[in-house]
Chains A and B, each alone.
Chain A
Amino acid sequence: MANLDHPIKKVMIICAKANIEDVYAALVMANGAVMEGIEAKVFFTFFGLDAITKKQMKKLHTATVGNPGMRMPGGLPFPSILGMLPGVEAGVSAMMKSQMEKLDIPPVDEFLELITAGGGEIYACKLAVEMFKLKKEDFSEHVKDIITIGQFYELAAGEGTQIIFT
């Protein structure tokens, strides 16, 4: 039986990267929290903003160069030089997405909808938004607000909160 004396009541998840795996780590954790009745807020910053930017969110990639976890189907090493060829990264990324679809893991926009439908909240980092010269209307409708790191900590207040950086 789980220890229920000090349950996690709220998770604050920060996603600073645009790789499929980093974005999905944040989304799976946020959605998983909401499913368990845990309050969840996700803060996207730096390149992580791609995941909530309408223009980019459907085109996330995984890195085929400089990614030691990359393997060929079957488990053989994935030659770096192959990852540099045009179209390879897109192909690998499409394959990953289709594998996820089979496990009922939704595309990013639908994942955001699932999280917000359950009461989770999505935020964009003000500093990064200004740095990339983005506007509120560039973001998915599921983004609740553009906030500062100070506001992020205010939202984190309370007993039983965990801050997670993916």
Chain B
Amino acid sequence: MAEKVYLGKTISVTDEGYLTDASQWTKEIALEIAKEEGLTLTDKHFAVIDYIRERVLKGEALTIRSIGKSGVIDTKGFYELFPGAPLKKATKIAGVAKPVSCV
């Protein structure tokens, strides 16, 4: 277990930087994590982040496919918003656990 200071607040995170307590998350913290990932968040990013938080906090598993079918964004758009490893990046910025899905 590690800790990180975002905007003067101490947040507990995993070794890979994922928040361990989703309730510590705020939009301002999301902007900071995104900065570390080299991303500037727009409303479009936040629409996806809100969707991810809603799903995960309900206890549902995330896959790239389900996000592409969410109606919030299509798969291609998801890869464009969070280039490289979208599911990993988006969940990290959304302050939820790293997904364990293979698809």
Contact among B66, B74, B86, B102 for A28, CB-based, below 8 A? B102
Q: Which size bracket describes the interface of A in this complex?
A: 10 to 19
Summed over the interface, the residue pairs from A and B with CB atoms below 8 Å come to a total of 44
Q: Please pick, from A1, A103, A113, the residue contacting B75 in the complex, using a CB distance under 8 A.
A: A113
Indicate whether A83 reaches chain B with its CB closer than 8 angstroms. Answer: no
Q: How far is the CA of A104 from the CA of B60 in the complex (A)?
A: 12
Contact A37 B74 (CB under 8 A): no
Interfacial chain A residues near B63, Cβ < 8 Å: 104
Size band of the interface chain B makes with A: 20 to 34
**Residues of A at under 8 Å CB distance from B?**
1, 28, 31-32, 35-37, 103-106, 110, 113-114, 117-119
Most buried by B among A28, A32, A104, A113: A104
Query: Does B103 sit within 8 A of A, measured CB to CB?
Result: yes
Q: Which residue of A lies closest to B85 (CB)?
A: A37
What's the Cα separation between A37 and B84 when bound, in Å? 4
Residues of B at the A interface (CB closer than 8 Å) are 15, 61, 63-66, 68, 74-76, 79, 83-88, 101-103
Q: Which residue of A lies closest to B15 (CB)?
A: A1
Neighbour of A35 across the interface among B15, B66, B76, B85, CB < 8 A: B85
Query: Which A residues are CB-close (under 8 A) to B61?
Result: 104
A152 vs chain B, min Cβ distance (A): 24
Whole-angstrom distance between the alpha carbons of A37 and B79 in the complex? 10
Provide a sorted-by-A list of 30 A–B residue pairs whose CB atoms are within 8 angstroms. A1-B15, A28-B102, A31-B64, A31-B103, A32-B102, A35-B64, A35-B85, A35-B86, A35-B87, A36-B85, A37-B83, A37-B84, A104-B61, A104-B65, A104-B103, A105-B103, A106-B103, A110-B65, A114-B64, A114-B65, A114-B68, A114-B75, A117-B68, A117-B74, A117-B75, A117-B76, A117-B79, A118-B64, A118-B76, A118-B86
Nearest CB of chain B from residue A4's CB, rounded to whole Å: 11
